[in-house]
Structure 1
Amino acid sequence: MSRTRPPEVEDAYAPVDAPEAWPLVSLLCFAIALASKPIVRWLPPDLRPYPAVVLLPIALSVGAALCGVLFAWIGLRRRPGNTLARTGLLLNAVVLALATLAAAALVWIVRR
């Protein structure tokens, strides 16, 4: 006798469709933005001269958060009301604002 599984269980581990992937990529960009300093530390010391050690994590955070905002916005336009896309948009917007503030503070301190 063969048992059939309920449709909820069969769809639980289904591949992610393209409209659902945008918020996930947005959250991946959020994780990259948060881990920018350890990612830069993985670079060889020859590729990290003094100004780059300070500027690369900020640039990576701003770039990843900006990409995350873009991907979350695309995901929100594809499926309005998607909670995951809203969360990704909020998190990446906060990281983008804080990284931009850190970059502005760095420029202000260096100019002094």
Structure 2
Amino acid sequence: MEATEATRAFGALAHEARLAVFRSLIEASPSGMAAGDIARASDTPASTMSGHLATLKRAGLVRSWRLARQVFYAADVEGTRRLLEFLVSDCCDGRPELCGDLARMA
């Protein structure tokens, strides 16, 4: 992951509502949640939630698919892994033994 992609992902997560939705989608993985259920669970208008989900999707943190008349969203595990890998790739000045479990993520 390049710094520009990481910046986009962090920007998406820098909003409290989007961070909460992302965490909910991590918990609901891999099956995900219907867009309407996400909006209801967070007590957010559907149009507002649609914008939040679009931002998270553009940042590579969620994926979506259509099933009949509903759109479902789930955390994009690969995008999330790449973001975490970006954070820990140079952990502890090249001495991964100092980073413990974080070093194994890279």
Q: TM-score w.r.t. structure 1 length?
A: 0.30
More helix by share: 1
Structure with the greater alpha carbon radius of gyration? 1
Q: TM-score w.r.t. structure 2 length?
A: 0.32
